[in-house]
Structure 1
Amino acid sequence: MNHTGKKAATYPASIPFIIANEGAERFSFYGMRSILATFLVAQFFNPSLNPGLQNVAEAKANEITHLFVSLAYALPFAGAIAADWFFGKYRVILYVSIVYCLGHLCLSLFEDDLDKFRLGLLLVAVGAGGIKSCVSANLGDQFNESNKHLMAGMYGWFYFSINSGSVLSTIMIPWVYAKYGPSWAFGIPGLLMALATVIFFSGRKKYVKIPPSGINKNNFLFISGYALINFRRRKKGQPLLDVAKGKFDERKVEDIKSVYNVMAVFAFIPVYWALWDQSLSEWVLQATKLDLTIFSFQVLPEQVQTVNPFFLLLFIPVFNYWIYPFFDKMGIKTTPVRRIGAGLVVTAISFLIIALIQVSVDGGARPSIWWQILAYALLSASEVLISVTGLQYAYTQSPPSMKSTMAALWLMTTAIGNFFTGMVNRNIAQDGVFSGLKGADYYWFFIGLLCAFIILYFFVAGRIKERSYIHSPEDELLVASQSHGQ
């Protein structure tokens, strides 16, 4: 009891199950992903280590890796619809987690069968993508008026569980792979996903379960589709979406207009993810050709990527409490649009370092891994500027009824970027028009592409209108939890 005589607010009993489930699930996802590209090359595409086959082998491995990530980030939209309209979050998380476990089982059992291994990747992508849009929202569902002020702290622990799972697995699983082979390296993440499912199921009697609402026709897809199909009904000077006002809720139509304004910024984000996700595939393959000595210790190529979450956790407070206020005091307001533009430039610099490392490798040298760590530091800074800012921008620039839609669209930018990179690598592997992108030329291509987008972005950015909607502190932490622990 507190001094007013009222019962003190307590944390929902379901919270430990949700947070433990998330940590184990992220361990399973990042664990298998940390070794995926190097495993595919060594096991299927160039087991003989033939230098003449290495370029095509790496392209094939990168293609599979990026298409896997693309699918995992395209499916949250479907998961959200399934949960909100038909089954509820609890059932979607539970049922899709079982699919997730089956995918991991395929990865550990079929290390010598590429087709069945690909089936495992498909099932893991369905599992990871299907629950992505539900888990953080399910956490928020557990709170009510009496304890909603405790929600911010719990999202902090949720974010901590995400990063703990990803960091631990990225350190541990490459070591298991090197010492005990792929069966154990893929099997342990599978066991963690099974544990995550059991933990989630164990809390079934403690969850607040929001029932599905049924099909809601007043949504982004239905209204946009109707307006496009009936575009001939538009009157002169009338916005296209206004065509749908007679058929759908007028306020919802106005809300969707704000979504398209945000998408003017989102249109530039896929190219960022097309480059960023190479840090977990192409950069890992590059690390196999570098001097991996760190403070007299030899690290594994797959373990180097662990520095990213460390830099990210360091840079978030640095930017929020020092860098942004510094520029604001100088009269240079760090608006979200400007932060994203700066992030694109920093990304280009990080890839410039990677390209120069590759030039040295192509010349027969073995540069220090410290150069790649420097590139990771810059890439992490770009993640604060773009990923954290971008999802927050999606929340603040969209009305309450469209915040979930914007979060799903933000994840879709990752899917589009990875799909593009996957297609480039497929073209290289099939001796297509991009087949000349070997060695450093591969990175110069993406740097040139990004620079073209940067020029276009700075031309468009000044014309983008910003409109901030009121949002809660919980939204800020939800932004942080989704921006990296994706």
Structure 2
Amino acid sequence: MLGAIVADQYIGRYKTILVFSTVYLIGWIILTCTSIPSALEAGAGFPGYVVSLVVIGLGTGGIKGIVSPLCADQFKYDHDYVKELPSGEKVLVDYSLTIQRLYNWFYWAINIGSLVGGVVCPLLELNVDFWAAYLLPTIALLVSIMVFVAGTKLYYRPKPTGSIILKAFSVIGQAWKQKALPENKEARKQCKDFMDFAKRDSGMTNTAPWTPEMTAKAAHWDDQFVDELKQAIMACKIFVPLSIYWVCYNNLSNNLISQAAVMARPAGLPNNIMNNFDPIALLIFIPIVDIIIYPALRKHKINFFPQQRITAGFFIGALSMVYAAVVQHYIYMDPLFIETGDSSNVSVFIQIPCYVLIAFSEIFASITSIEYAYTHAPKSMKSLVSALSLWPNCVAALISLAISPAAQDPNMVWVYTGVACGAFACGILYYWLFKHYDDIDEEYRVKKLTDQQHQPTTALELDPMTMDTPWDKDAKL
């Protein structure tokens, strides 16, 4: 949230990434330096670990919500447009599908780093020491910052838009006060969204006139900002139930690792290596979904809309927990586990389908949610709304912490089953609450296309190399 506010209000996304990346790097340097043998002998290990966690948390929290929006900003337009190919054929470039593809491949790229770090770092810790496992990401982060800076001249860098948070609270407060006025009793019956009471031209009749004090406050915004704020709130509503989905996902880094610890593994294979089958599955299946499955559905006139994809993510996440519960049942039934309580003859590779199911659920739920946050956030709030899309992860971590006392043998079958039931029920509730969002989006898209067809267009000079328009983020075709 801090990084998003700084980016949207003060210095922009590009500079914010640079600042917090530097903080992030400092945190890794502290962690690496305090983990070398001489530092451990001097007693710097634990203090350094605590300080580094705080600094790393500040750094990664500052950039995580704004890296993907800056990436999506590089697409030239924020609307559909017609493009003429060198062959003379005219094609419609769909903005939503373009951003969908961009986020798919963004998620694919970050999972390359997840896989490399998830495999190499545990092996370095096992065969060398902790300092070596920490040194690798420190160097990787330093190199990534240098590469990022090297491409500075190539980026489109949106400017900050001023103080959004205070203005948003003022709009909400003004709208609520106006709505509560007795004189607006009839207007409340016409009102579809109470935020319209903060607009000068609300389209409602019989509204009470504003007091001089309200008029003075409203000088800080216009009706467009109110509409943008309504759009942002609409986007943020979907994040609340997503916390239950992320409880499923969080089992990757806790319960499933513990489950792997009591399963039969090849010699030298750490149990915390197994969760890397999740990024492996993502690297395999994201291209298949993006290049084959989605185009095939569109070819057959099947529109897999965002809320449908997120709902599918809920159900597949629930299925992954059902699978984990079945595996846990067979571990409990294994004679070796009954005898020892800490090992079994059940192969650890039986876990792989669980990770594959979680990966598929991420493609539909996780990628779509951050994509939806960007496409439905107004320009003045893209960093903020994208950062808010990560809040369900935080809530899910707290939920996981709350149920952790029960997450131990012999309760694990019921823990996985409970999470599965929660995700399945929440998926049903989610679709019931938000399925109309897909209808709203489609109506808006058709209306926008219709309006563009009736607007006179200005001929724009084409780039002879790309047959595309010159770089202009706000160009209207």
The alignment's TM-score, normalised by the length of structure 1, stands at 0.66
Aligned AA (2:197): V
Q: Distance in 1 between matches of 2:291 and 2:143?
A: 38
Contact 2:66/2:386, CA 8 A, preserved across alignment = no
Matches within 5 A, 1:50-61: none
Aligned AA (1:244): A
Matches within 5 A, 1:100-119: 100-110=24-34, 113-114=45-46, 116-119=48-51
Q: Does 1:466 align with 2:439?
A: yes
Residue equivalent to 1:353: 323
Deviation readout 1:437-460 (Å, 9 max, x if unpaired): 843333233223223313423443
Q: Distance in 1 between matches of 2:424 and 2:249?
A: 14
Give 1:350 shift: 0.6
Q: How many residues align?
A: 385
Matches within 5 A, 1:224-235: 224=172, 226-227=174-175, 232-233=180-181, 235=185
Which of 270, 276, 297 is matched with 1:306 structurally?
276
Q: Distance in 2 between matches of 1:421 and 1:142?
A: 37
Aligned AA (2:23): V
C-alpha distance 220-370 of structure 1, shift in aligned 2 (>3 A): farther
C-alpha distance 255-134 of structure 1, shift in aligned 2 (>3 A): closer
Q: Does 1:254 align with 2:227?
A: yes
Aligned AA (2:314): L
Aligned AA (2:110): I
Q: Distance in 2 between matches of 1:403 and 1:268?
A: 21
Residue equivalent to 2:360: 381
C-alpha distance 225-115 of structure 1, shift in aligned 2 (>3 A): farther
Give 1:348 shift: 0.9
Q: Does 1:241 align with 2:195?
A: yes
Contact 1:220/1:405, CA 8 A, preserved across alignment = no
Residue equivalent to 1:319: 289
Which deviates the most, 97-106 or 374-383?
A: 97-106
Residue equivalent to 2:12: 88
Residue equivalent to 2:251: 278
Deviation readout 1:104-157 (Å, 9 max, x if unpaired): 234334557556423322211211121223434445667879xxx9x9999898
Rg larger in 1 or in 2?
2
Residue equivalent to 1:164: 112
Q: Does 1:122 align with 2:51?
A: no
C-alpha distance 449-168 of structure 1, shift in aligned 2 (>3 A): same
Residue equivalent to 1:339: 309
Which of 395, 398, 403 is matched with 1:424 structurally?
403
Contact 1:339/1:385, CA 8 A, preserved across alignment = yes
C-alpha distance 386-170 of structure 1, shift in aligned 2 (>3 A): same
Q: Distance in 1 between matches of 2:312 and 2:228?
A: 29
Give 1:404 shift: 4.3
Contact 1:96/1:127, CA 8 A, preserved across alignment = yes
Report the aligned-residue RMSD.
4.0
Which of 121, 135, 140 is matched with 2:67 structurally?
135
C-alpha distance 285-118 of structure 1, shift in aligned 2 (>3 A): farther
Aligned AA (2:422): L
Q: Distance in 1 between matches of 2:373 and 2:10?
A: 26
Q: Distance in 1 between matches of 2:403 and 2:178?
A: 36
Residue equivalent to 2:346: 367
Aligned AA (2:196): D
Give 1:377 shift: 0.9
Aligned AA (1:178): L
Which structure has the higher relative contact order (CA within 8 Å, separation 6+)?
1
Residue equivalent to 1:49: none
Give 1:212 shift: 3.5
Contact 1:272/1:347, CA 8 A, preserved across alignment = yes
Local SS of the residue matching 1:126: helix
Contact 2:66/2:387, CA 8 A, preserved across alignment = no
Give 1:424 shift: 3.3
Residue equivalent to 2:23: 99
Q: Does 1:179 align with 2:154?
A: no
Residue equivalent to 2:88: none
Which of 404, 407, 414 is matched with 2:393 structurally?
414
Gapped regions of structure 1 (runs ≥ 5): 1-76, 473-486
C-alpha distance 155-445 of structure 1, shift in aligned 2 (>3 A): closer
Local SS of the residue matching 1:276: helix
C-alpha distance 244-331 of structure 1, shift in aligned 2 (>3 A): same
